[in-house]
Every structure is written in C-alpha cells, then in structure tokens.
C-alpha cells in the first residue's frame, strides 16, 4: 500500500512539476539560418516559459511567457515580456497550442510575423541555440498567476508620454550619481517609491506638500474587516486631516494610495495606484492605475540595466467595498 501511494505521488509530482522543450531550425549553415525554441515549465503556481527567436541576419528576440495552466492543457494563453537589444516591453498574450499528441506546438502572438510550429525535443535547435534558460532565470509577473474572482475591471493603455520620459530622467540621475547614495539605494530597491516619483513629476500631486502615512489594505474575511499584511505601500493626502469633506464640492482634496502585493515574488512588480477625490455619495468610484515595473539589476545601465516601465494601464474602478470592478458600482 505504501509503495502504491509513493508511485501515485511521484506521478502527480511529475505532472505538476515538469518541463517540455520544442524547437526548429531552418537553412542550417547558410547566411539565412534561422530558428526558434521554447522551454516550458509547469509548477503549482502555473506556467512559465522562455522562447528564443533567432535569425542570423537580424537582432534576436527573447520572449518570457507566464500565466495560469498545467501540463494537461491542450492550449495555453500566456502573458509576455519581450526583450531585444537592452529594451523590454509588454508583448501581450501568446497562444500555445499542442498538436499531434504534444509532439508539435503552434505558437501565435502579435510580435511574430507568422505563427511558429516547433518540434518536441528537436536536436538541431538544442545543438545550435544552446541549453534553454533555467526555470529560476525566467522573468515573470506573478500577478498573472492569480484568478480574478471579482467583477470585471476594464483598463486601457495610458497613452500620455510623460511617465517613460520621467523614468529615463530618474535613471540618468541614478547613473550619474547626482542623487545622494541613500536616495539611489531607495529608488533602486523600492519600486513603490519609483511610482510615487513618476506620479508627482507628472502633476498628479506634490510629494513635498502632501502628508504621508503607511498604506493599509482593508479586506473582508470570515465575517470581519481586517488588514491584509501582504500589501505594502504609502498613502498621500493633498489636504490636511482638518479639512471638511462636506465643503469639498469640487473634489479638490485627493487621497492617493500606492501599493504592491508582496506575496508576488516575480521580477516584474505590479504597482497599483488609487486616486480618491472627496465623495459624498454611496457609490464612489476612483481613478485607478496599474504600473508594471521591471528592474534589470543583472546588467549595467549602459546595456539595459535599471528600471523599465513595462506597461501602464488606467481606468475607473469602484471602491472594493462597493463591488470593485468597473462602474456602475453596487
């Protein structure tokens, strides 16, 4: 009985923690030699993968893929981070379809000129492209491993250019050491501080005149309200505590919450920003932003190191105690 149980556990673990390799090479040995390969890892959180798109004549591109799924899925929809020549950006969703009893894989996404068809355990691609990336070296955004159980939240790309420009200015100040050593260390280690700097520089509020306190996220659990210790951040108020909200008819006084979920251990950090104006009714909503920041600390800033703004989305969200999601609020 013990032996059977052990065997079943081994089978379960092999399904839960496993990996697959696919690749293809074309025009081997010619100037036009090109190919691609992908390594896919499965664990108890979901799926993470790394795809290398190679062409002897052009720049190579790396695709970091991550999201929900398991070994038994016939297809996967994964979010992506794309890297090329020291630049990083959000690549959107990539679809992986397993064909012919998982002996081939079809990969499609908006950065591919046409879908790729790769072969399982292809020897040529492994020989030419080298050993695939290890699981622990794959850049991921762990927020995409979670299942959203709330109301749908509709966000769109924040298109004003100021944020990336200000981040470049901050990176230059760090690189040229025009900030104090303490300030540089704070910015390099604290993505929430980077986000507050970007919002202040883009005119959302003033860091120098706003009051500051530690952010606390209240949740409703087991019939009680409590503070979730996983969420860390800052709360800024543009008006003092003595202002009368009943007289703020134009909503000039604002409360800004900047926070992250520290239970997410991925390299890409999701910073959530709430901007609350004075609200005198029971169906309040607020301006809401999601910034995804990545700090490539493994290389020098001359070669793509430092902070990168991977994506910035915004919209209007109902207060969570009013149902969350997009308006109309509950």
Query: What is the model's pLDDT at position 12?
Result: 47
Query: What is the model's pLDDT at position 157?
Result: 96
Query: What is the model's pLDDT at position 252?
Result: 82
- Most confident range (mean pLDDT) of 103-107, 273-277, 303-307 is 103-107
Of 131, 135, 112, 133, the C-alpha closest to 123 is 131
Query: What is the model's pLDDT at position 15?
Result: 46
- Most confident range (mean pLDDT) of 7-21, 92-106, 218-232, 244-258 is 92-106
Contact between residue 259 and residue 233 where contact means Cβ atoms under 8 Å apart: yes
Of 105, 7, 5, the C-alpha closest to 47 is 105
Residue with tokens 């507050």: 196
Instruction: Measure the CA–CA gap between 183 and 186, rounded to whole angstroms.
Output: 5
Query: What is the model's pLDDT at position 296?
Result: 87
* % the chain with pLDDT above 70: 93
pLDDT tens track for 159-207? 888 999 999 999 999 999 999 999 999 999 999 999 999 999 999 999 9
- List the beta bridge partners of residue 254: 277
Query: What is the model's pLDDT at position 131?
Result: 93
Instruction: Measure the CA–CA gap between 225 and 221, rounded to whole angstroms.
Output: 6
DSSP helix/strand/coil, 255:
strand
Question: What token pair was written down for 251?
Answer: 């909503």
Query: What is the model's pLDDT at position 280?
Result: 64
pLDDT, average across residues 283-307: 86
Query: What is the model's pLDDT at position 68?
Result: 96
Other Cβ atoms less than 10 A from the Cβ of 89: the count is 16
pLDDT, average across residues 13-27: 81
Say whether pLDDT at 88 is over 60: yes
User: At a CB cut-off of 8 Å and minimum separation 6, what does 280 contact?
Assistant: 245, 246
Other Cβ atoms less than 10 A from the Cβ of 78: the count is 26
pLDDT tens track for 46-62? 999 999 999 999 889 99
DSSP helix/strand/coil, 165:
helix
Instruction: Measure the CA–CA gap between 328 and 167, rounded to whole angstroms.
Output: 34
Residue with tokens 């202002």: 243
Query: What is the model's pLDDT at position 17?
Result: 61
Query: What is the model's pLDDT at position 4?
Result: 54
How confident is residue 281, by pLDDT bands cut at 50, 70 and 90?
A: low
Say whether pLDDT at 125 is over 70: yes
pLDDT, average across residues 143-169: 91
How confident is residue 72, by pLDDT bands cut at 50, 70 and 90?
A: very high
pLDDT tens track for 4-15? 554 444 444 444
What is the residue extent of each domain of the chain? 14-145, 156-322
Say whether pLDDT at 272 is over 60: yes
How confident is residue 141, by pLDDT bands cut at 50, 70 and 90?
A: very high
Say whether pLDDT at 297 is over 50: yes
Peptide bond preceding 150 in cis form (omega within 30 of 0): no
Higher pLDDT, 58 or 119: 119
Work out the mean pLDDT of the chain and round it to a whole number: 90
The pTM (predicted TM-score) of the whole model is 0.89
Residue with tokens 């520290």: 262
Say whether pLDDT at 113 is over 70: yes
Give the burial string for 251-260 (b: 16+ CB within 10 Å, else e).
Answer: eebbbbbbbb
Q: How far is CA 30 from CA 108, 118, 130, 231, in A?
A: 26, 20, 18, 53
Query: What is the model's pLDDT at position 194?
Result: 97
- The angle subtended at Cα 267 by Cα 309 and Cα 67, nearest 5°, is 95
DSSP helix/strand/coil, 68:
coil
How confident is residue 69, by pLDDT bands cut at 50, 70 and 90?
A: very high
Query: What is the model's pLDDT at position 2?
Result: 57
List, as own/partner pairs, every contact residues 132-138 make where C-beta atoms lie below 8 angstroms and the sequence separation is at least 24, other chains included: 132/21, 132/37, 132/38, 132/39, 132/50, 132/52, 133/39, 133/50, 135/19, 135/41, 135/43, 135/48, 137/50, 138/41, 138/48, 138/49, 138/50, 138/64, 138/66
Instruction: Measure the CA–CA gap between 307 and 191, rounded to whole angstroms.
Output: 9
């Amino acid at each position: 009985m013990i032996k059977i149980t052990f065997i079943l556990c081994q089978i379960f673990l092999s399904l839960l923690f496993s990996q697959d390799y696919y690749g293809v090479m074309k025009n081997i040995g010619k100037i036009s030699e090109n190919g691609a390969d992908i390594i896919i890892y499965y664990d108890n959180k979901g799926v993470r993968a790394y795809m290398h798109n190679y062409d002897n004549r052009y720049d190579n591109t790396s695709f970091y893929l991550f999201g929900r799924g398991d070994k038994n899925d016939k297809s996967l929809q994964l979010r992506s981070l794309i890297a090329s020549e020291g630049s990083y950006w959000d690549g959107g969703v990539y679809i992986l379809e397993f064909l012919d009893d998982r002996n081939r894989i079809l990969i499609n996404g908006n950065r591919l000129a046409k879908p790729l068809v790769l072969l399982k355990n292809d020897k040529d691609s492994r020989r030419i492209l080298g050993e695939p990336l290890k699981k622990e070296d794959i850049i991921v955004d762990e927020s995409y491993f979670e299942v959203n159980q709330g109301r749908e939240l509709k966000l769109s790309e924040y298109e004003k250019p100021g944020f990336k420009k200000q981040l470049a200015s901050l990176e230059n100040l760090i690189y040229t050491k025009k900030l104090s050593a303490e300030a540089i260390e704070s910015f390099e280690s604290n993505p929430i501080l980077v986000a507050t700097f970007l919002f202040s520089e883009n005119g959302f509020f003033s860091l120098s005149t706003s009051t500051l306190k530690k952010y606390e996220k209240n949740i409703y659990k087991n019939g009680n309200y409590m503070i979730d210790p996983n969420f860390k951040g800052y709360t800024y108020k543009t008006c003092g505590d003595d202002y009368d909200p009943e007289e703020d008819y134009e909503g000039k006084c604002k409360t800004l919450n900047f926070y992250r979920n520290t239970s997410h251990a991925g390299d890409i950090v999701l910073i959530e920003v709430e901007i609350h104006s004075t609200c005198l009714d029971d169906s309040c909503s607020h301006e809401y932003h999601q910034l995804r920041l990545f700090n490539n600390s493994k290389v020098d800033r001359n070669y793509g190191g430092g902070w990168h703004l991977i994506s910035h989305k915004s919209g209007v969200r109902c207060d969570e105690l009013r149902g969350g999601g997009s308006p109309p609020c509950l």
